[in-house]
Structure 1
Amino acid sequence: MNPFNGWLAASLLGIALAFGGTASAQTLIVGDQSFNNRTVMEAAGVLEGLPYTLEWKQFTAGSPVAEALNVGSLDIGFLGDAPPLFLGALGAPIKVIGISRQDLDGVAILVRKDSPIQKLSDLRGKSAAIWKGSWSQQLLFTALAKEGIAPSELDLRYLGALDASHALEGGSVDVIATWEPYVTQQELSGARVLATAKGLIPAQSFLVATDKAIATKHALLGDFLQRLYKAREWAQQPGNSERYAKAWVELTKADAEVARRWFARAAIRLEPISDQNISEAQQTVDFFHSINLVKGYQARTLFDPSFNQYLPATNPQAAR
């Protein structure tokens, strides 16, 4: 038997005992983005024999997921680090219970293929499209700081990711900072990458649960994390990222080549919370505090490492 499968089976048995036979009457309400997590779990077959009901709610961005968590209409949601960190500054009744990592080449600064801009230092006086309070803004401002360029030296346009892509293609801006699947879409159109998040920003994604769900559905959340972990590991096996992409395209009607390249590169994995994750979250809080978008606070207060028991220890610095 695969060691992970043995660990998972033992863990699921423990969770089943913790449910005390009541799980089938319970429902876990999950906030997903564009069917991404639902698709990989269904494609990997990890939802078979689920001892409770899953109710999926689909969103197109992280901010509405954060708001739904804040008002209690979700039990758990998937989103990038900034929205929950902003809510954490306001004392929202939520906690980060797991970390989702992807290849940081999927968060990038791009220019058109025919642009005269060749390097970050060429950006003075140029126009840029970014989304305020996101990886986009954090990446561009951090990259500019490394070059000694103030954001005020650019003509900044605050556009959502889709509108920013259209603006770049149409020539109304010189540069955009964005994330997947827009990075892959732009690259397939010939856009060039000036810089990625590697070495610049953490660009973490979080699994966030409400305090109420943690108190009343802890075992269900733990079971869900384990199944998602298994699905993400399945997607890393040869050929499975293409199966995942195909299933996602069938559901969303998105471009098949974009999906295939995106999922192959992203290599998304689920991790337990570590001290490094918390330190990187603090880096993000400090950045947005420095530009007056959030009050400063200790990011550690937003994390609940009790869910690390449900995931294999992939990092010796896992928080406890």
Structure 2
Amino acid sequence: MLRKTLVGLTLGLLAATQTLATTLVVGDQSYNTRTVMEAAGVLDDLPYQLDWKQFTAGSPVAEALNVGSLDLGLLGDAPPLFLGALGAPIKVVGISRQSLDGVAVLVLGDSSIRSLADLQGKTVAIWKGSWSQQLALSALDRAGVPRDRVSFRYLNALDASHALEGGSVDAIATWEPYVTQAQRHGARVLTTAEDLIPAQSFVVASQRALDDAAKHRAIGDFLQRLQRARTWANADPAHTARYARAWAERTRADAAIAQAWFARARTSIGPVTPAAIAQAQRTVDFFAGEGLVKGYDASRLFYDGFGTSLAPLAQTAQR
């Protein structure tokens, strides 16, 4: 009995030592995840090292995961779903949700466009292979507006915002923080992503990291800490404000816009679920229909091994 106890203690100490020596390389976008975790104080006493890599968009995060230079990445659904069609060695290990009010089709406040039907004969800025394209086309289809009656300009989110302000396009389909920024300058919402597209975000791990026992444990721990941080940020307006100030200071952004964005988004993190996989399949099928990706069974891209580590997403975050 004593021998078994000593062996168990030795194995436990060995696992702890391996974890302490582990470095988890995490791909973040514009310091958002790092800032909320630091503001919430959940990165204290980490049993492993964190090496943050910052990106300005989701596609390079996905590519870094694909080539193995990241262990974990946080990004929107389209880039990893596109890579999934190619059999990339990555897995979605967590689901991030935000208010779908922050993904919207916008026009200027004084525009004569009052409905989606009014977009006929107009120019709309979208970005291929993104929520922007999926929202704009899904909204037109639901409204019965023929796609060939609308002109599209393919602009990234920042350029699209400038084009709307400058009057070179009539409407844009975009996401946060550009929705909040535009609304603060008087832009109007024609429609949001509500009941139109899933607009999920993913926490994605490289297969190599998942196959490493120490990194697997570290990923599970990281997800729990991230969930606590998001819960903290949503629990009190003062917490949201602290998070917004810290992020704005780090990125030199407008703190008021950041606070309005974070308060509306109420971003939360939860486990992989059948519902999340089904919504991912909808997105794959949409882009396959546009000829941008080969259709496939999206479930093969998901790993639900951290389901016991994460509490289910709150109903309010699943809008």
SS in 2 for 1:310: coil
Report matched runs for 1:208-223 at 5 Å: 208-216=204-212, 217-223=215-221
Identity level (%): 63
- 2:291 is paired with a residue whose SS is coil
Q: Could you say which residue in structure 1 is the equivalent of 2:290?
A: 291
CA contact (8 A) 1:274 1:315 kept: no
Name 1:227's counterpart in structure 2: 225
- Distance (Å, rounded) in 2 between the aligned partners of 1:53 and 1:68: 19
Q: Deviations over 1:60-91 (max 9, x none)?
A: 11111111111111000011011000000000
Q: Verify: 1:77 aligned to 2:76, yes or no.
A: no
Query: 88, 93, 97: which one pairs with 1:97?
Result: 93
Q: Which residue of 2 aligns with 1:118?
A: 114
After TM superposition, the structure 1 = structure 2 runs for residues 8-19 of structure 1, keeping only pairs within 5 Å, are 19=15
1:260 counterpart residue number? 259
Say if 1:17 and 1:281 are closer, same or farther in 2 by CA, change over 3 A.
Answer: farther
Listed one character per residue, the Cα deviations across residues 22-60 of structure 1 (whole Å, up to 9, x for unaligned) are 222110000000000000000000000011110001111
Contact 2:27 2:53 in 1 (8 A): yes
Distance in 2, Cα, partners of 1:112 & 1:205: 28
The Cα offsets for residues 174-199 of structure 1, whole Å up to 9 and x where unpaired, read as 00000000000000000000000001
User: Which residue in 1 is equivalent to 2:135?
Assistant: 139
What is the Cα deviation at residue 17 of structure 1? 7.0
User: Is the contact made by 2:25 and 2:52 (CA closer than 8 Å) also made in structure 1?
Assistant: yes
Q: Distance in 2 between matches of 1:60 and 1:105?
A: 22
SS at match of 2:38: helix
Task: Supply the AA of the counterpart residue of 2:167.
Answer: G
Q: What SS class does the counterpart of residue 305 from structure 2 fall into?
A: helix
Q: Cα distance, 1:18 vs. partner?
A: 8.6
The answer (yes or no) to whether the contact 2:76–2:201 under 8 Å persists in 1 is yes
Give the 3-state SS of the residue equivalent to 1:99 in structure 2.
strand
Q: Report 1:1-320 matches (<5 A).
A: 19-216=15-212, 217-238=215-236, 239-314=238-313
Would the aligned equivalents of 1:110 and 1:194 in 2 still touch at CA under 8 Å? yes
Q: Deviations over 1:113-170 (max 9, x none)?
A: 1100000111111001000000000000000001122322211100000000000000
Inter-partner Cα distance in structure 1 for 2:256 and 2:190: 23
Q: 1-side partners of 2:249 and 2:263: how far apart? A: 17
Find the residue that maps to 1:309 and give its secondary structure: coil
Structure 2: tracts of 5 or more residues without a match: 1-11
The alpha-carbon deviation at position 312 of structure 1 amounts to 1.8
Root-mean-square deviation (Å): 1.3
State TM-score, norm by structure 1: 0.92
Call closer, same or farther: CA 1:51–1:189 in 2, change over 3 Å: same
How many residues align structurally? 301
User: Is the 1:273–1:305 contact (alpha carbons within 8 Å) kept by the matching residues of 2?
Assistant: yes
How many Å separate the matches in 1 of 2:265 and 2:13? 35
**1:313 offset after TM fit, Å?**
3.7
After TM superposition, the score normalised by the length of structure 2 is 0.92
Does the 8 Å contact 2:268/2:313 carry over to 1? no
Contact 1:18 1:219 survives alignment (8 Å): no
Tell me how far apart the structure 1 counterparts of residues 139 and 282 of structure 2 sit (CA, whole Å).
15
Secondary structure of the structure 2 residue equivalent to 1:306: coil
For 1:18 and 1:306, the matched residues in 2 are separated by 23
**In structure 2, do the counterparts of structure 1 residues 283 and 289 end up closer, same or farther at CA, with 3 Å as the change threshold?**
same
SS in structure 2 of the partner of residue 282 of structure 1: helix
